[in-house]
Each structure stands twice: as structure tokens, then as C-alpha cells.
Amino acid sequence: MNVDLKPAAGMVIEPPEIRSVGVIGAGQMGNGIAHVCALAGLPVTIVDIKEDALSKAMATMARNMDRQVKRSLVSSDDRDEALMRVKTSTDYAVLNNADLVIEAATEKEDVKRQIYKVLTPNLKPSCLLASNTSSISITRLGAATDRPEKFIGMHFMNPVPVMKLVEIIRGIATDEPTFQAVKALAEKLGKVSAVSEDFPAFIVNRILVPMINEAVYALYEGVGSVSAIDTSMKLGANHPMGPLELADFIGLDTCLSIMQVLYEGLSDSKYRPCPLLVKYVEAGWYGRKTGRGFYDYSQTPPRPTR
């Protein structure tokens, strides 16, 4: 009996072609991923547990595509056709024909594991599964599925229609055709990919989120106010957004989860989440998506809260 399931040396296996995509999670990342896939001509189905998140995602996508039409980046025909390619559902069973499912649900390992458990029996065996996780081990997430060799990290940046980069992360079991298929898809979506090894938070967030956490420490220790910190980094380091404004944009819950993954994954006290960040998340002040974070978004322009 041949127990070696790997292809013989030199044998080339064609990467599977991705003709239809499922997206799990209709939050800020899920709607952005569906947006770029639909504009690239792929039929997309978004699944979320919340019906209102799905209708909000459709409205956001239409609004963002309108903006692209106004800027002559997309024609109105392409927008109309793209929006018609997007379907939504609260039932994972609708993904039974997808070639690739991209999970972009809440950044909590137990949430993602539970999703894979319920989702995978609905998928065809050849379906690839990607996570848009910002920080969690792809190897560990892949091992929680029935298809670790077809599991991969595909980390889009926020806002997806605007940001060029996709980080691609192989778990230890990810096979080459899966990697090639996802890399080809990133290109088809007009993105540039960078390969990261499977370390906590990968490349971008390993560098970016500790900087945000440090900005929260600077606020916590009274080094500066919210506007002093953001103005300093915008005008002093030429960052397009201040770190606290950026934290609100990413979502403080997501920032905290990433710091916790770094802290636990690398066992280094330099990644300790700032207690003020913890407190904001405990208060439900997640940033833009809840209307309040380091800024209060009920006013225009948003008012710094400290």
C-alpha cells in the first residue's frame, strides 16, 4: 500500500481554479473581501449569524462601489453586475458549491473553531478554506478543520478595496496547490501578496499593533492627550492616520485580541496589552464600529475622548 500522499519529486500539480467564493462574517472585512471578489467577476456568498450584519454589508458595499464609480475607478455597469454577483445567507449550507471560503469572522479562536466545525461538513471536499485572521496560528486553526492541507491564511488589509496588500500565510500542513491558488486569486483581485511565516500576528500586525498599544500606554501614562499623540505621529512621523485614530478604525476589540495573541504566543512582557485598551474593550467602546473609542463618532468631526 502506498501511504505517501505527497506528489513525487518534480511532479507539478496544477493549482485548483477558484470560480466562486464564500465569505464568513459580514463585518468591515467581510464586506470588503466580498466587494473585491465580486468586482473581479467572482460570484460571492456572504454568511453571517446576524441578518442585520448582512443587510448592512450589502449597503456598505453599494456605497463604497458608488464612491469608486464617482472617482471613475469602476464603471456603473461593472458596479451593477458586481452587486448582482453577491448573495447573502445565515445558512452555511449555501456554500456547498464554493471553490474557496474565506472566513472573516470575529477575531476569537473559539468563534473560528466553532465556525469550521459547523461549516466544513457543508463544503465540497475540494473546497479551499482561508482565514483572514490578523494574528491566530494558521497551523492551529487548520488542525481544527477536516482539511489542514487546504487551509491557509489570507490576510487582507482594511479597507480592502483600497489597500493593496494581502499577506499569505501557510500553515505547516498547507499544500503547494492551495498556496498557488490563493496567490493567483490575490493577483486576480489586483492585490500584491507578501508571504509571512506562521508566527503570531504575521508581519504587518507584529509591527503595527504593538505601536498602537504603545500609543495607548502613552495616553494611559499621561504622556499626551489623544489629539497630541495622533498629531505627533501624523506630522512627526508622516503617518497618514494617528495610532489612536487607526486603533478605532481597526476596532479596539481586534487590537486587543492581537496583543493577547502576541503576548501569549511569544511569552514576552513587551507585548502586554495596555490596561486602558482592556478597559475600553470591557466598556464596549470598540471604536468606529460602535460609535465610540478613543474618539466619539456621534459628532462631526469626531471628538477625542481624553
Give the catalytic positions in this structure: 134, 155, 167, 205
Nearest alpha carbon to residue 42 among 62, 57, 20, 74: 20
Query: Smallest distance, Å, CB 2 to ligand NAD?
Result: 39
Residues 263-292 that bind ligand NAD (CB under 6 A): 289
Q: Please pick, from the candidates 53, 62, 94, 165, the single residue that binds ligand NAD as defined by CB under 6 A.
A: 53
Which range of residues in 12-20, 129-137, 192-200, 261-269 is near ligand NAD by CB under 6 A?
129-137
* Structural contact between residues 62 and 83, judged by C-beta atoms closer than 8 angstroms: yes
Q: What residues numbered 217-256 form the site for ligand NAD, per CB under 6 A?
A: 250-251, 254
Cα 116 from Cα 105, distance rounded (Å): 11
* CA distances in angstroms from 83 to 3, 31, 59, 80, 176, listed in the order given: 46, 11, 10, 5, 32
**Contact call for residues 15 and 164 (beta carbons, < 8 A):** no
Peptide bond into 210 cis (omega under 30): no
Piece of the chain touching ligand NAD by CB under 6 A; list 63-71, 105-113, 183-191, 263-271: 105-113
Select from 155, 160, 263 the least CA-distant residue to 213. Answer: 263
3-class DSSP assignment, residue 209: helix
Q: Shortest distance, CB of residue 141 to ligand NAD, whole angstroms?
A: 10
28 binds ligand NAD (CB under 6 A): yes
Cβ-based nearer residue to ligand NAD, 106 or 139? 106
Q: Among residue numbers 147 through 206, which ones bind ligand NAD (CB under 6 A)?
A: 155-156, 158
Check if the beta carbon of residue 306 is closer than 8 Å to that of residue 228.
no
Q: Does 50 bind ligand NAD (CB under 6 A)?
A: yes
C-alpha cell at 105: 469572522
Q: Closest CB to ligand NAD belongs to which residue?
A: 27
Tell me the site size for ligand NAD, rule CB under 6 A: 28
In the complex, which residues of this chain contact ligand NAD (CB under 6 A)? 24-30, 47-50, 53, 104-107, 111, 115, 132-134, 155-156, 158, 250-251, 254, 289
